[in-house]
Structure 1
Amino acid sequence: MKLIKSILIVFVIILNTPLTAQETGFSDLLQNIDSREKIELNGMWDIIVDPLENGYYNHRLQVKDDGYFKNKKMESPSDLIEYNFDTSSQLMVPGDWNTQMDKLYYYEGTVWYKKDFNYTIDSNELAFLYFEAVNYEAIVYLNGERIGSHVGGYTPFQFEVTDKLKEGNNFVVVKVDNKRKKENVPTVNQDWWNYGGITRSVHLVKTPISHIADYSIQLPKGNTKTIEGWVSVKNGKDGDAVNVSIPELKKNVNTVVQNGIAKFSMKTKPVLWEPENPKTYEVILKTATDKITDQIGFRTIETKGTKILLNGKDIFLKGISIHEEAPFKTGRVVSKEECKILLDWAKELGCNFIRLAHYPHSETMVREAEKMGFIIWSEIPVYWTIQFENKDTYANAKNQLTEMISRDKNRAAIVLWSMANETPESEARLSFIENLVEQARELDNTRLITAALDTQGYGKDENLIEDPLGKAVDVIGINNYCGWYAGSTESCSKLKWASTYNKPMIMSEVGGGALYGLHGEKNERWTEEYQAEVYRTNIEMMRNIDFLAGLSPWILMDFRSSRRPLKRIQDDFNRKGLISEQGMKKQAFFILRDYYLNENN
């Protein structure tokens, strides 16, 4: 009787042809490490600045077998060892080196990091060395042995190190290199600071030998009465039991592993996540040896003509773009408190939407934004003119996209995966980004795909959106700086827009620069009055775009950029922020806030 009752309560589907762990397409990254036992490796790390990479190459530019990664010590007075981590400088991790050490402000190159830690071996556990992000290329060594490498400055990576650890004292060395290269993603030209270092937290994560590695739990596309998903179990066997429960919904489902994956589906009707009520549920995943707990929200997102529908209802995205730049001290955001400051400012502005530009921000930022009810645009740094014909460049971009989606696929707040920003039209570029779109849809067919297109059209009576990339995306992003890079502020309110596509458009960038506290006439560049006038006239322009579904002006806060050298005005800052780097609100902040509070509610 109990069995019959449970069948009536929960409808479970296990497909005849289940996905294998490899066929999910996701990276092998552990999901939700905050639900794991872990040793934090944050704090002060010993560092050696190595611009000539003497610690890696010999004088013939051959890779050494006894480089700095060996962390060698003198054993006799005659030993020749030309480095010593124990007497070197130190840097805080997480953090960038540019703002921690004056001589490294503009530095681009190699810095070696070393950290000592203690470990107690447990034969029933696996251990993973997990980096939330290192910018840009990382080669990782444990106890003098190379364990792997990673390319890309904004996504997490890990190495299973169980057999590399020793009882007691261990040390990890990381060769970090942030040199810009043409073939990289982003390429050599970017309008944000190239912060080098171990910029996010480092953990030694412990798991049972047979453990839950990954999972995806959400509403299927267009369905609000079924929660479905899969759980990836590593080092298990076919037939192993997996339990998925959502206590608040009184749902409990048992399924089994086949080829590393346990699939499930349950009939239920959760309260849907939305900005006014960012509801999440405790979800518990259990096997015989492991348990994971997460907070997951459920919602639907789709388009209908030129509208964006959240949970079936038309929503206007009142947003702002944000860089991962720390308020007050600048440099990389490294704490939950810094995330909250930025998000509180966005909430004060009247936003229900944030564009996290131009790369994946930290998991902490995404989770905090979700709690506060922000809809999120998340982006990979396919930015400006990268090498669209280079196969290795594409592989890099595809990997960053995969790692971004792998980490954040269970976050209801993210509704837009962005493939690119301001890329020039060409056949190679179109093919490159279309392939990324296909990859994103294979990984996650429940969210919308977008890209920020560079449609300026100054000097015309009408801007026509006809970039062929518009056909591939669900939502068209447009970056337009009328009144700043071209066109007078007076011309903006009269500018008309049309589109080849019957799709929603987000004005993903709009605005102009101002130095906080600099005042003058509304036609005087760099004054708060000029910036405010840019916003007034562009808001008038956007009121007349009938296919506008939202906007995310550029940008919430001034941020460092080596493209901005103008003394006494920019001083290495992009000044398009509505708030100064010291937290002072400019006039344009209040212009945009009034628009958000009084319209499109």
Structure 2
Amino acid sequence: MKRSLVFLLMIWFPVIGKANQNLFPLITNIPHRETFSLNGDWDYIVDRYETGYYDYRLRPSKWGFFRDQKPRNQSDLVEYSFEDSKKMFIPRDWNSSDPELNFYEGTVWFRKSFDFYPVNNERYFLYFGAVNYEALVYLNGQFIGSHKGGFTPFNFEVTGKLKEGQNYIVVKVDNTRHKDEVPTVNTDWWNYGGITRDVLIVKEPETFIRDFSIALTEGKYNEISGWIQLDGINLQTPITIDIPELNKKISVTPDETGRATFFLKAKPVLWSPQNPKLYDVYFSTVGKTMKEKIAFRHIEAIGNQVFLNGKPIFLRGVCIHEEAPYRAGRFSNPAEAHTLLSWAKEMNANFVRLAHYPHNEYMVREAEKMGLLIWSEIPVYWTINFTSKETLQNAKNQLEEMITRDKNRGAIIIWSLANETPVSEERNQFLSQLVMHARNIDNTRLISMAMEKDYHDPFTPSIKDPLMNIVDVISFNSYIGWYDGLPEKCAKMNWLLPDDKPVIISEFGGGAKQGFHGDKNQRWTEEFQEELYIQSVAMFDKMNVAGTCPWILMDFKSPRRLLPKIQDGWNRKGLISNDGIKKKAFFIMKNWYEDKP
């Protein structure tokens, strides 16, 4: 191939190798910024052979679908058409939107045409709440960046690239599973593909507040501190921080990098599940004010207990997948998040484990507003390729995007970095680096991961994971009575647990088809699941644990679950059916939690 042609192809289709390319640093506090929504109907083309990306020699094609080409005359050959293709409402996963795509994994092209009128001296950023899994993004035929990771936000600056009048965005979305990705090929949830969260254009002045952090100063109840990061051309523009309800207002001037730190004396009402108090905080620069709602609280691990605001708390938890209630698919609006969290509250939960990936920002903010503590995690799940540097970098990036987006959500108390990963030297090094990365970004939360168990004998399990020495909270999943024996085995267990750190049972439970009844020894009946929960909580009463998280709040789709007439593609471990009907075990947990302090 001649040099000129290679150069031409690089202009049209850059080589995609890293987890993320051409990303502008993540802009936070999106719900309280000035935005232009691109949600709504998008045209889409299912491209199983990636015809819109490669030519017939499997080389990137300069005539790809990103050009949104149309015939110039009746003789012109163009073998695709967004106008004549189907439409899909975004945000939504394609599996639940189009019955033909229920099992589909591969490439789908999305296009959105819209009118826009940029204003001089304003900056614009194209923001995606999440795209599963790999996204290549084009604006008006120009490649502007790529992103890997199906559950974290990303944005690109598009100042100067938006035109007066009609514009169009094309996104190539590929949810194909690969061994070296995060998560890897083997998961126990549905691989919902598509643009699954909001798409927005964020408008900001030439110099603006890109990011900030605000919280109680560690170890103090009468001081608030944090930092603010400006972006733009006048990085030493003064910034005002105002908390009217506390009658506190200060002004700070950033350094030459745009960074400013601040401290102010104040004694806010502390956020807790009983009193989820949120304060309006205003950040102002010249001509621009931004509001955020902030929860002030302290979290720490002391001995074998978790302390919230200086008092021990038992974490009455439940695990939740980002599965929409009453229908299959990812939930994509605050109302659906509220429904799931209301069920958790009805069960007397004060804590939710958002498994196994960062959930929609709607979920996190709604939980905080409702008084629910949060465990948030990245999808380092089961058999990740722990020997790959690229996989590690991908995991680090997803971790950083999760923490960057949600660091000001006081309800989040635990960053979790892995689930059920087999112990090995490579795995230990991989996860140790993630622990260090998390602490470098945010050292104000507790760090945990769901670890594996060891057995001295069939009735004497313990935790010997070498990483238990570097996490703050020791967590593990226990399926005694489901995958390990029958429910009566719970009464015979003699757990050997560490007493120098809090221990959380991060999963337990078993499956039942809602409405299927029988003897308590008949698997898949509600009575079997109920008995398993009765025996499980009795076992936990004899263990010195800091919290429990039954698996799981609601049934969810999984291609691993194949038993006809019972599973039919659903993991049936939910305490509530996918139709919103509570199973008998739900009430065991509700009553047990009601008796917990």
Q: Say yes or no: TM over 0.5.
A: yes
Q: 2:165 and 2:173 mapped to 1: Cα distance?
A: 26
Matches within 5 A, 1:270-289: 270-289=268-287
Aligned to 1:429: 427
Aligned to 1:337: 335
Q: Letter of the aligned partner of 1:235 in structure 2?
A: G
Contact 1:454–1:480 at 8 Å: present in 2 too? no
Q: 2:89 and 2:571 mapped to 1: Cα distance?
A: 26
Contact 1:514–1:531 at 8 Å: present in 2 too? yes
Aligned to 1:14: none
Shift in CA distance, 562/456, structure 1 to aligned 2, threshold 3 Å: farther
Q: Letter of the aligned partner of 2:157 in structure 1?
A: E
Deviation, 1:458, is: 9.4
Q: 2:126 aligns with which of 108, 111, 129?
A: 129
Secondary structure of 2:160's aligned partner: helix
Q: Letter of the aligned partner of 1:424 in structure 2?
A: P
- Per-residue CA deviation, residues 166-219 of structure 1 (Å, 9 max, x unaligned), is 000000000000000000000000000000000011001111111110000011
Aligned to 1:245: 242
Aligned to 2:114: 117
Contact 1:388–1:428 at 8 Å: present in 2 too? yes
Aligned to 1:156: 153
Q: Is 2:94 the counterpart of 1:107?
A: no
- Give structure 2 stretches of 5+ with no counterpart: 1-22
Aligned to 1:264: 262
Q: Is 2:56 the counterpart of 1:59?
A: yes
Q: Letter of the aligned partner of 2:180 in structure 1?
A: E
Aligned to 1:17: none
Shift in CA distance, 328/292, structure 1 to aligned 2, threshold 3 Å: same
Q: 2:136 and 2:153 mapped to 1: Cα distance?
A: 14
- Give structure 1 stretches of 5+ with no counterpart: 1-25
Matches within 5 A, 1:155-304: 155-258=152-255, 259-304=257-302
Contact 1:27–1:406 at 8 Å: present in 2 too? no
Deviation, 1:237, is: 3.1
Q: Letter of the aligned partner of 2:227 in structure 1?
A: W
Matches within 5 A, 1:64-75: 64-75=61-72
Contact 1:245–1:251 at 8 Å: present in 2 too? yes
Deviation, 1:334, is: 0.7
Q: Letter of the aligned partner of 2:151 in structure 1?
A: Y
- Per-residue CA deviation, residues 283-340 of structure 1 (Å, 9 max, x unaligned), is 0000113221000011110011100000010000001000000001120011111001
Q: 1:351 and 1:154 mapped to 2: Cα distance?
A: 25
- Per-residue CA deviation, residues 528-566 of structure 1 (Å, 9 max, x unaligned), is 0000111011111101112x0001110000000000011
Q: Letter of the aligned partner of 2:432 in structure 1?
A: E
Deviation, 1:497, is: 1.3
What TM-score comes out, normalization by structure 2 length?
Answer: 0.95
Contact 1:320–1:355 at 8 Å: present in 2 too? yes
Contact 2:456–2:462 at 8 Å: present in 1 too? no
Q: 2:442 aligns with which of 441, 444, 453?
A: 444
Aligned to 2:519: 521
Q: 1:566 aligns with which of 563, 566, 569?
A: 563
Aligned to 2:8: none
Secondary structure of 2:51's aligned partner: coil
Deviation, 1:267, is: 1.0
Q: 2:81 aligns with which of 80, 84, 91?
A: 84
Secondary structure of 1:319's aligned partner: strand
- Per-residue CA deviation, residues 434-489 of structure 1 (Å, 9 max, x unaligned), is 11011111111111000011226496222111111111110011101001001121
Q: 2:456 and 2:509 mapped to 1: Cα distance?
A: 15
Q: 1:61 and 1:309 mapped to 2: Cα distance?
A: 57
Aligned to 1:326: 324
Q: 2:220 and 2:426 mapped to 1: Cα distance?
A: 37
Q: Letter of the aligned partner of 2:135 in structure 1?
A: A
Aligned to 1:472: 470
Matches within 5 A, 1:373-522: 373-455=371-453, 457=455, 460-500=458-498, 502-522=500-520
Secondary structure of 1:171's aligned partner: strand
Matches within 5 A, 1:24-35: 28-35=25-32
Deviation, 1:27, is: 7.8
Contact 1:483–1:492 at 8 Å: present in 2 too? yes
Secondary structure of 2:94's aligned partner: coil
Q: Is 2:539 the counterpart of 1:541?
A: yes
Q: 1:488 and 1:37 mapped to 2: Cα distance?
A: 56
Q: Letter of the aligned partner of 1:447 in structure 2?
A: R
Q: 1:594 and 1:236 mapped to 2: Cα distance?
A: 58
Q: Letter of the aligned partner of 1:432 in structure 2?
A: F
Q: 2:56 and 2:206 mapped to 1: Cα distance?
A: 44
Q: 1:575 aligns with which of 572, 575, 584?
A: 572
Q: Is 2:349 the counterpart of 1:355?
A: no
The number of equivalent residue pairs is 574
Secondary structure of 1:368's aligned partner: helix
Contact 1:181–1:187 at 8 Å: present in 2 too? yes
Q: Letter of the aligned partner of 2:386 in structure 1?
A: F
Q: 2:44 aligns with which of 43, 47, 50?
A: 47
Q: 2:508 and 2:491 mapped to 1: Cα distance?
A: 13
Contact 2:24–2:156 at 8 Å: present in 1 too? no
- Per-residue CA deviation, residues 341-383 of structure 1 (Å, 9 max, x unaligned), is 0011000000000000000001110000000000000000000
Aligned to 1:315: 313
Q: Letter of the aligned partner of 1:221 in structure 2?
A: E
CA RMSD across the alignment: 1.2
Q: Letter of the aligned partner of 1:215 in structure 2?
A: F
Aligned to 1:94: 91
Deviates more, 1:31-40 or 1:184-193: 31-40
Deviation, 1:518, is: 0.3
Contact 1:221–1:445 at 8 Å: present in 2 too? no
Secondary structure of 1:98's aligned partner: helix
Contact 1:210–1:290 at 8 Å: present in 2 too? no
Contact 1:422–1:452 at 8 Å: present in 2 too? yes
Secondary structure of 1:337's aligned partner: helix
Aligned to 1:16: none
Aligned to 1:365: 363
Identity %: 53
Deviation, 1:494, is: 2.3
Secondary structure of 1:477's aligned partner: strand
Aligned to 2:586: 589
Deviation, 1:91, is: 1.1
Q: 2:235 and 2:260 mapped to 1: Cα distance?
A: 9
Q: 1:533 and 1:171 mapped to 2: Cα distance?
A: 56
